[in-house]
Amino acid sequence: MSSSLTLDQIRLAGLDALARELGPVGMVRFLQQFETGRGDYSAERHEWLSGRTVREFVSELRRQRPASGAVQGRNSVSDASP
């Protein structure tokens, strides 16, 4: 490869190499490793966790889960100590 390639040409050559060596699914899986996301996860997490208990989360999850989605034969989170 020549050093005179544009950044776009280098990007396309890299994607071609990934697709050729890994296949389309492997290429996507490789590229997903570098997704940085958006926002400030730590600040957002503190905001939505603030002042809530495990029991409140479990109760909310149960309200949102369809009745047919219940899993039988597993220990319940509500059985755990707070």
Contact status, residue 57 vs residue 50, Cβ threshold 8 Å: no
Task: Note the residue count of the chain.
Answer: 82
Local confidence band at 70 (pLDDT 50, 70, 90 cut-offs): low
Burial class (CB in 10 A: 0-12, 13-18, 19+), 58: middle
Q: Could you read off the pLDDT of 23-62 as tens digits, one per residue?
A: 999 999 999 888 777 888 888 888 888 888 889 888 888 9
Q: Could you read off the pLDDT of 8-29 as tens digits, one per residue?
A: 999 999 999 999 999 999 999 9
Residue 7 pLDDT greater than 80, yes or no:
yes
The domain limits of the chain are 7-65
Residue 38 is predicted with a pLDDT of 82
